Amino acid sequence: MSSPSRHKNSSGFTLVELLVTIALFSILVSIAAGGFVRALRSEREVSAMMFSESNVSLALEEMTREMRTGYLFCHNPGSNQPSSACSSGITTCKSDGAPMPTWTCPDGIEFYNAAGEKVDYVLQDGVLERSDSAENGGALTPLTSSNVSITYLTFTLFGNLETDTWNPRITIAVSVEPNDSTVSWTTANLETTVSSRSFDSPPPQ
């Protein structure tokens, strides 16, 4: 009587199949890791830009709120010409030469607020700063965070002279970017216009 045949079942992967599988797996992991890193970088850039815009927006809101009740923008009482140095002596206003001139004042503005205090808003080393003649001896204090850098600031004035019968109107243009060398992002540009509620007049005595 013959013994039943025995079939030997050998299963598994050859060396070539293992190498191909490892190579494909490595490619997939590399693609997934690259996408994850790009997503993290994008999330960081978006967060940095949102923080920059939010920080500057708060500073703009503070400026416009004070300007609404301000007067004598960039000129001295009784003068119908803007002062040669507006805002802590660092800014020179320039006229467009029109009969009703528009004045452009880069990097700073000077005016009196509702309390009759002389106020300066100045851009220095990428930081927006404010000074008040009644506070801290007129010393400048920062309004924007060190995490952001303001690369451009200009104030455009119209109707800011005492005899022009116009309420002063100020347009503020500002450019900001994250102060982070690891973040690459285009600069955000913001602009707003505010009108003072009163004609320019000398401060109260």
Question: Is residue 205 domain-resident?
Answer: no
Amino acid at 121: Y
- Cβ within 8 Å of residue 146, ≥6 positions away: 127, 179
Q: Which of 138, 92, 117, 111 is nearest to 196 (CA)?
A: 111
CA distance 70 to 198: 8
pTM of the model: 0.74
Question: Is residue 14 domain-resident?
Answer: no
Question: Is residue 29 domain-resident?
Answer: no
Sheet holding 169-178, edge to edge: 94-95, 102-106, 148-158, 169-178, 188-195
Question: Is residue 8 domain-resident?
Answer: no
Question: Is residue 154 domain-resident?
Answer: yes
For the chain, 205 residues long, give each residue's pLDDT as a single digit of tens.
Answer: 545 555 555 566 787 777 888 888 888 887 877 777 777 777 777 777 788 888 899 999 999 999 999 988 887 666 666 665 576 666 678 878 787 788 888 888 988 888 888 899 999 999 999 988 877 777 889 999 888 899 999 999 998 877 777 889 999 999 998 887 776 667 889 999 999 987 776 555 5
- Cβ within 8 Å of residue 64, ≥6 positions away: 172, 192, 194
Q: Is the dihedral of CA 97, 102, 108, 111 positive or negative?
A: positive
CA distance 88 to 111: 11
Q: By residue range, what is the domain housing residue 181?
A: 40-195
Q: How many structural domains are present in the chain?
A: 1
Question: Is residue 52 domain-resident?
Answer: yes
Question: Is residue 51 domain-resident?
Answer: yes
Question: Is residue 74 domain-resident?
Answer: yes
